Amino acid sequence: MHIILGISGGISAYKIPELIRILKRDGHTVSAIMTEHAHEFVTETTIATVSESPINNSDPYNTASHINHERQGDIFVVAPATANQIAKYYAGIADDALSTAFLTFTGPKLICPAMHTQMWENPITQRNIAGLDALGVKRLGPFDGELACGDSGQGRMAEPALIASAITNIALGEQQLSGRHILISAGGTSERIDPVRTLTNRATGTLGATCATLAALSGANVHLVTTDPGHQSPIYRTTVVESASELANALQRAWPENDSLIMSAAVSDFTLEAGETKRRRSDALALELTPTQDIVAELATHKTPEQVIIGFCLGDADGLEELAISKLKTKKIDYIVANTKENIGAQARTFSIYNKSGKISEKLNVSVTESAHAILNCLRH
Ligand SMILES: Cc1cc2nc3c(=O)[nH]c(=O)nc-3n(C[C@H](O)[C@H](O)[C@H](O)COP(=O)(O)O)c2cc1C
């Protein structure tokens, strides 16, 4: 996808080279337009170097004109979007290269506002934002948190990785999930052996967290129950758990408030009585393991006909289809994603999705974001 990236004069412009790098890594091409004030915060040399493309500067009569932008871009993103640019867009003012190109562009537009809380909360800015929202301009943020001046409040620009996910989500075709309540589990549970050791697995939780991000970006209310505190995000609710029983409790509590469950966490099949003191090398080596409960099968017994459950299974490529179909039936769930061990922590993933009629989707070597998008597609039916 070719992205027209507008950079305006806010302090968070310093994060934009990182955004461009992520977009390039994800296979997109980027042409940047910088406002005159953007140059105060990030240099043209940096932006031109990381985007591998010359900058269209503040002269609206410049060569790579606004009309070219309209023809050549798949999406128009403004990050950071200053209060000043937002006001211009709402008023239809086109007095610099960025606002002229914005007014000309007819494809999807995404703005990522960033400013001090007082500027953001000003009724004038709120009126402009409400107007752009109503006109269908997509918006990400701003979020609550620490601001560049040391104050804290709403006004932080979305982090570059989240902006990149929003762009990819639009590129893949945003699912309409507004009004949906989606519960997602992610990560790998761990069972304590003693105060310092655990029995765990190699799941990273990246796929579940990416499902949470895409679902929230597509308008759903998302609750992610994860074993990794690093999965927290301002766009969805997070509960952090450690063991299989903590995960089961958190999901059981949340399930009645949700219409769908994506059970991507890798749950320990066994648990054990944790010792109170650290085991020593001289202690007996045998661990007495007991099976954990089958969380997804248990949640399926409380499922209303409207609720949807997507489960996961992992096996060898040989016999994976039979395994997936038998798990789908015995656990009484709606969809199952069949994985092989090669997918654990991988950048590119190969998997199939089944429902009770058989295979409905097969993906070969797709990115984690595309994998999450394919899984969320099940919730549209
Ligand atoms: C140090 C400093 C930081 C600023 N940060 C922001 C900001 O984060 N968001 C914003 O809307 N304006 C910010 N401004 C004000 C804008 O730079 C100013 O409104 C400018 O006219 C924006 O021009 P542009 O929208 O054409 O880039 C800042 C100004 C200064 C001096």
Separation of 82 CA from ligand 1 center, angstroms?
Answer: 6
> In terms of domains, do 218 and 360 share one?
yes
Q: DSSP label at 60?
A: T
Nearest CA to ligand 1 atom 4: 10
Residue 82 Cβ < 6 Å to ligand 1: yes
> In terms of domains, do 142 and 236 share one?
no
CATH number, residue 93: 3.40.50.1950
Cβ partners under 8 Å of residue 255, min gap 6: 183, 261, 299, 302, 307
**d(Cα 195, Cα 108) in Å, to the nearest integer?**
52
Nearest to 212, CA basis, from 79, 366, 369: 369
**d(Cα 329, Cα 335) in Å, to the nearest integer?**
10
Question: What's the confidence (pLDDT) of residue 69?
Answer: 57
> In terms of domains, do 106 and 248 share one?
no
Residue 181 Cβ < 6 Å to ligand 1: no
Residue 37 Cβ < 6 Å to ligand 1: yes
Last residue of a domain, one of 172, 201, 223: 172
Residue 57 Cβ < 6 Å to ligand 1: no
Let me know: does 272 contact 194? Beta carbons within 8 Å. Answer: no
> In terms of domains, do 168 and 253 share one?
no
> In terms of domains, do 320 and 258 share one?
yes
Name the amino acid, one letter, at 103.
L
Last residue of a domain, one of 172, 189, 222: 172
> In terms of domains, do 152 and 195 share one?
no
Last residue of a domain, one of 150, 172, 194: 172
Pairing state between β 29-34 and 138-139: unpaired
Question: What's the confidence (pLDDT) of residue 3?
Answer: 96
**d(Cα 367, Cα 347) in Å, to the nearest integer?**
6
> In terms of domains, do 68 and 148 share one?
yes
- Give pLDDT < 50 ranges for the chain: none
Question: What's the confidence (pLDDT) of residue 62?
Answer: 58
CATH number, residue 227: 3.40.50.10300
Q: Which of 149, 211, 313, 378 is catalytic?
A: 149
> In terms of domains, do 282 and 320 share one?
yes
Nearest CA to ligand 1 atom 2: 11
Let me know: does 14 contact 42? Beta carbons within 8 Å. Answer: yes
Residue 114 Cβ < 6 Å to ligand 1: yes
Pairing state between β 143-146 and 152-156: antiparallel
Domain count, the chain: 2
> In terms of domains, do 17 and 122 share one?
yes
> In terms of domains, do 340 and 194 share one?
yes
> In terms of domains, do 274 and 354 share one?
yes
Let me know: does 110 contact 166? Beta carbons within 8 Å. Answer: yes
> In terms of domains, do 151 and 214 share one?
no
Question: What's the confidence (pLDDT) of residue 66?
Answer: 53
Nearest CA to ligand 1 atom 22: 9
**d(Cα 38, Cα 15) in Å, to the nearest integer?**
12
pLDDT tens sequence across 147-178 = 888 888 999 999 999 999 999 999 888 888 99
Pairing state between β 181-186 and 191-192: unpaired
Question: What's the confidence (pLDDT) of residue 345?
Answer: 80
Q: Which of 37, 40, 90, 120 to mutate to test the pocket of ligand 1 (most atoms within 8 A of CB)?
A: 37
**d(Cα 172, Cα 125) in Å, to the nearest integer?**
31
Domain that holds residue 262: 181-380
Question: What's the confidence (pLDDT) of residue 65?
Answer: 54
313 assigned to active site? no
- DSSP codes of every residue in 238-266: EEE--SHHHHHHHHHHHGGG-SEEEE--B
Separation of 343 CA from ligand 1 center, angstroms?
Answer: 44
pTM of the full structure: 0.89
Separation of 88 CA from ligand 1 center, angstroms?
Answer: 14
Cβ partners under 8 Å of residue 260, min gap 6: 180, 181, 182, 183, 307, 308, 309, 310, 379
Count of all residues that appear for the chain in the document: 381
